[in-house]
């Protein structure tokens, strides 16, 4: 196992933190993922690309424990993951965003972000009911953390707005904030830039790079836009029809004939 | 004094998450509390206490309870009447089995018992949602009323099948039974309503409340960010039933004095409290009070105005009440699901800028 490499831009990438081993996932007759293995190293930005329906979201769902693969193992921080509920996986330090935004529409931006701190709450029910001591201290500490993320993502002005009223691009940003505030070890992003205009995309790219750079968060991201992926990521997994057809640094992947064929063979949306 | 939010800056996060962030609201709240505790007890009579204040306070407690379940956690329940009956019968059994037990403990224990029953009936919510859950809670409603009607142990084998509350005193003042003073009964209920509203407010503004709301808004996303759905839903059922149980106990011991399950805690009661929650505002503690006040005051008002002033037939006036309530329910469900609480907030938003709207 490689430990510690330093990238051209000076970030340190550590050993393997998560490893997918021979994952196969079926929905009835449909095989969404066919015997795929790859690893994620600490501190890197790992991209998953591929045409629509390739199985990328399914793979992210396996990583976040939402889908249970029929075959294969998930290794996290040197241990094989036993079958777990998604909320238990979240507590191990894996946070994510969704391809189709999944915010809590009835709550304000701030409350949405504060839900991301749930795993850091230790005060019990009664302490919260009387709002005394630990409960109030935790609330204030979590609020401070939430404000840090709000500043970081530049969404101060919409703090108290109900998320239902926000435009699409801002919703995506709030969803990122909710995931970030959990201070995850691994952040899984499902098409964080889909549906955004150029300016919003640039902002989002910058945020992703900053998160990785400032907090050292490991990021796995799904993206359609080849250009964006090549700029952002350290290593890329390419999927097509549920199979892995490429894996490596962006330049390697770009030169791979199978990848070129897959991308030329489909029309982009 | 003008109503102002502008210029009311917060210098700490604790100050920002307090219940009434605007100073003017806070003062009005202190005023209402002071009047409720310090003034009303000295001026109320039997009529005010029985026709308005007691039902208002008791229904407000029930409405807060149901609002926690429906408005905050998004789990429908039509079993409120049945759960109120659990509180009532628990208090009856405790009062008769342990005559030395004080009324505060009896009322709280009735809430605890109802919480346990509520969790048991809440278990299906882990599997079923929406309409199917509503039907399951409806089944709970009918089962519980049937149980209290049919099992004589619950009504101590009394010939009439009724239960009646013996006299109990607190600090030397009778709070139950025919001899109890209206202001003593009122204060007893007020203390519970105040304390329970305060606890509910704390629970709903912190992480427990956010878990409930996350489950309400999108349960799958909630689970993926770390909410344990089992704990969130069952805790909502427990807290909700605790409130409803206390309301049921007070309704029987303090307000009615004697009860028969079908009439006192039937399905109409479930709907009445649900209407309070919808009209007052889903997901609002203040709205629960507003809804309870509205539903308690409306019939009183209609009887006085329609029969008293316009000379309508009283049966006609009662039917007219159904029409009004029905219309309002539709209005609030379709136009303003956040109910009176939201209308109040909108009015304040307008006031805030008055007299300079730009
Ligand atoms: N919950 C599901 N039930 C049935 N089929 C699914 C489900 N999720 C994904 N699939 C199928 O798996 C395949 C891969 O889908 P997905 O992972 O969403 O692809 P991508 O994110 O790469 O566009 C598709 O054929 C899709 O129809
Ligand atoms: Mg997808």
Is the per-residue pLDDT at B301 higher than 60? Answer: yes
**Distance from B138 to chain A by nearest Cα, in Å?**
27
Would the CB atoms of B225 and A90 count as touching at under 8 Å?
Answer: yes
Secondary structure (DSSP) of A67-129? S--SEEEEEETTEEPPP--HHHHHHTTEEE--SS----TTSBHHHHHHHTTGGG----HHHHH
Which among B199, B206, B213 is the nearest to A107, CB-wise?
B213
**In-domain check, residue B296:** no
Domain boundary among A183, A214, A230: A183
pLDDT value for B170: 82
| Environment of ion ligand 2 (residues, CB < 5 A) | A 57, 99
Residue B277 lies in a domain: no
A86 and A189 housed in the same domain:
yes
User: A161 with A244, same domain?
Assistant: no
Kindly indicate whether the ipTM for this predicted assembly is greater than 0.95, answering yes or no.
no
Over residues B100-139, the pLDDT tens digits come to: 889 999 999 999 999 999 999 988 888 888 888 889 999 9
B221–A98 CB contact, under 8 Å: yes
Q: Give the length of chain B.
A: 358
pLDDT in tens, A204-249: 999 999 999 988 899 999 987 778 888 899 999 999 999 999 899 9
Mean pLDDT of chain B: 86
**Confidence (pLDDT) at B38:** 75
Q: Which of residues 169-228 of B touch A (CB under 8 A)?
A: 199, 202-203, 205-208, 210-211, 213-214, 216-218, 220-228
- Are residues A2 and A76 both part of a single domain? yes
First to last CA, chain B: 19
Q: Are residues A109 and A197 in the same domain?
A: no
Which structural domain range is residue A62 located in?
1-93+185-269
Mean pLDDT (whole number) for A12-37 = 92
pLDDT at residue B112 in the model = 97
* Residue B1 in this model has a pLDDT that exceeds 50: no
Q: Where does a domain end: A183, A211, A246?
A: A183
Q: Is residue A98 part of a domain?
A: no
CA-proximal residue: ligand 1, atom 1 (nearest): A27
E strands, B204-329, in order: 258-259
What whole-number distance in Å separates Cα of residue A128 and Cα of residue A111?
A: 16
A85 and A130 together in one domain: no
Does residue B232 lie within any of the structural domains? yes
CA dist B287 and B341 (Å) reads 5
Structural domains counted in chain A: 2
Counting residues of chain A whose pLDDT is more than 70, the rounded percentage is 97
Cα A210 to chain centroid distance, Å, stands at 14
**Range 73-132 of B in CB contact (< 8 A) with A:** none
Say yes or no: CB of residue A51 within 6 Å of ligand 1: no
Cβ–Cβ < 8 Å for B104, B188: no
**Which domain CATH number covers A265?**
3.40.50.300
Q: What is the pLDDT of residue B358?
A: 52
pLDDT at B17 over 70: no
Residue found by looking up tokens 């009209």 in the block: B279
As given in the structure block, the two tokens for residue B279 are 């009209």
C-alpha A120 – ligand 2 centre gap (Å):
29
| Number of structural domains chain B divides into | 1
Q: What is the pLDDT of residue B8?
A: 52
> Do A14 and A119 lie in a common domain?
no
Mean pLDDT (whole number) for A93-112? 92
Q: Do A144 and A260 fall within a single domain?
A: no
Expressed in angstroms and rounded, the spacing between residue A45 Cα and the centre of ligand 2 is 18
Compute the distance from residue A243 Cα to the ligand 2 centre, in Å.
15
Identify the residue whose C-alpha is closest to ligand 1 atom 2. Answer: A27
What is the 3-state secondary structure of chain B? CCCCCCCCCCCCHHHHCCCCCCHHHHHHHHHHHHHHHHHHHHHCCHHHHHHHHHHHHHHHHHHHHHHHHHHHCCCCCCCHHHHHHHHHHHHHHHHHHCCCCCHHHHHHHHHHHHHHHHHHHHHHHHCCCHHHHHHHHHHHHHHHHHHHHHCHHHHCCCCCCCEECCCCEECCEECCCCCCCHHHHHHHHHHHHHHHHHHHHHHHHCHHHHHHHHHHHCHHHHHHCCCCHHHHHHHHHHHHHHHHHHHHHHHHHHHHCEECHHHHHCHHHHHHHHHHHHHHCCCCHHHHHHHHHHHHHHHHHHHHHHHHHCCCCHHHHHHHHHHHHHHHHHHHHHCCCCHHHHHHHHHHHHHHHCCCCC
Residue A130 lies inside a defined structural domain of this protein: yes
If asked whether residues A239 and A223 sit together in one domain, one would say yes
Choose one of A183, A216, A241: the last residue of a domain.
Answer: A183
> How does DSSP classify residue A162?
B
Residue A27, beta-bridge partner list: A30
More confident residue, A177 or B5: A177
Distance between A50 CA and the closest CA of chain B, angstroms: 24
Q: Is the CB of A62 inside a 6 Å radius of any atom of ligand 1?
A: no
At residue B182, does pLDDT exceed 80?
yes
- Same structural domain, A207 and A145: no
**CA-based nearest residue to B158, from B264, B258, B253:** B258
In tens, the pLDDT along B28-84 reads 888 888 888 878 887 788 788 888 899 999 999 999 999 999 999 999 899 999 999
Query: Which domain covers residue B65, as residue numbers?
Result: 20-262
The answer on A256 and A203 residing in a single domain is yes
> CA A50, CA B124: separation in Å to the nearest integer?
41
What residues of chain B lie within 8 A of the CB of A87, using their CB?
223-229
In a domain, B3, yes or no: no
Regarding whether A89 and A192 lie in a shared domain, the answer is yes
| Whether residue A192 sits in one domain with residue A89 | yes
Answer whether A115 sits within 8 Å of B211, measured CB to CB.
yes
């Amino acid at each position: 196992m490689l430990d510690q490499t330093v990238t051209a831009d000076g970030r340190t990438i550590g050993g393997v933190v998560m490893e997918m081993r021979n994952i196969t996932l079926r929905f009835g007759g449909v095989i969404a993922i066919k015997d795929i293995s790859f690893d994620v190293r600490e501190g890197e930005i790992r991209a998953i690309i591929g045409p629509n329906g390739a199985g990328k979201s399914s793979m992210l769902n396996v990583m976040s424990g939402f889908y249970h693969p029929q075959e294969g193992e998930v290794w996290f921080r040197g241990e094989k993951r036993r079958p777990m509920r998604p909320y238990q996986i979240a507590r191990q330090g894996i946070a994510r965003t969704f391809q189709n935004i999944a915010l809590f529409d009835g709550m304000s931006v701030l409350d949405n972000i504060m839900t991301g701190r749930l795993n850091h709450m230790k005060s019990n029910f009664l302490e919260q009911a009387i709002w005394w001591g630990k409960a109030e201290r935790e609330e204030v500490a979590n609020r401070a953390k939430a404000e840090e993320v709000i500043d970081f993502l530049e969404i101060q002005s919409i703090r108290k707005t109900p998320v239902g009223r926000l435009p699409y691009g801002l919703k995506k940003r709030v969803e990122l904030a909710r995931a970030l505030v959990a201070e995850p070890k691994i952040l899984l992003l499902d098409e964080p830039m889909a549906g955004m205009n150029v300016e919003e995309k640039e902002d989002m790219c910058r945020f992703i790079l900053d998160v990785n750079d400032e907090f050292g968060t490991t990021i796995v991201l799904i993206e359609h836009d080849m250009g964006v992926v090549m700029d952002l990521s350290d290593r890329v997994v390419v999927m097509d029809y549920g199979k892995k057809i490429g894996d490596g640094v962006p330049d390697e992947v770009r030169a791979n004939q199978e990848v070129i064929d897959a991308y030329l063979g489909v029309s982009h949306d | 004094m003008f109503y102002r939010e502008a210029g009311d800056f917060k210098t700490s996060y604790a100050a920002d998450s307090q219940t009434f962030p605007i100073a003017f609201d806070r003062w009005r709240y202190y005023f209402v509390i002071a009047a409720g505790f310090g003034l009303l007890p000295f001026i109320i009579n039997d009529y005010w206490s029985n026709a308005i204040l007691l039902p208002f306070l008791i229904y407000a407690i029930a409405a807060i309870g149901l609002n926690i379940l429906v408005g905050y956690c998004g789990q429908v329940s039509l079993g409120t009447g049945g759960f109120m009956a659990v509180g009532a019968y628990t208090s009856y059994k405790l009062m008769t089995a342990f005559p030395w037990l004080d009324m505060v403990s009896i009322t709280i224990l009735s809430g605890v018992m109802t919480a346990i029953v509520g969790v048991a009936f809440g278990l299906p919510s882990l599997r079923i949602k929406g309409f199917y859950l509503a039907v399951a809670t409806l089944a709970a409603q009918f089962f519980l009323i049937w149980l209290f009607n049919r099992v004589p142990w619950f009504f101590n084998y009394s010939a009439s099948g009724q239960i009646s509350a013996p006299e109990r005193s607190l600090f030397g003042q009778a709070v139950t039974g025919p001899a109890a003073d209206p202001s003593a009964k009122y204060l007893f209920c007020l203390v519970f309503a105040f304390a329970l509203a305060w606890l509910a407010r704390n629970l709903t503004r912190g992480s427990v409340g956010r878990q409930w709301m996350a489950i309400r808004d999108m349960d799958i996303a909630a689970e993926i960010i770390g909410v344990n759905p089992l704990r969130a839903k069952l805790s909502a059922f427990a807290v909700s039933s605790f409130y409803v149980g206390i309301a049921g106990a007070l309704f029987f011991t303090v307000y009615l004095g004697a009860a028969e399950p079908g009439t006192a805690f039937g399905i109409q009661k479930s709907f009445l409290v649900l209407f309070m929650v919808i009209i007052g505002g889903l997901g609002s503690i203040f709205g629960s009070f507003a809804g309870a006040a509205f539903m308690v005051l409306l019939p009183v008002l209609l009887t006085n105005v329609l029969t008293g002033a316009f000379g309508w037939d009283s049966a006609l006036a009662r039917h007219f009440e159904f029409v009004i309530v029905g219309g309002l329910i539709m209005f609030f469900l379709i136009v303003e699901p956040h109910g009176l609480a939201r209308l109040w907030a909108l009015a304040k938003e307008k006031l805030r800028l008055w007299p300079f709207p730009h």
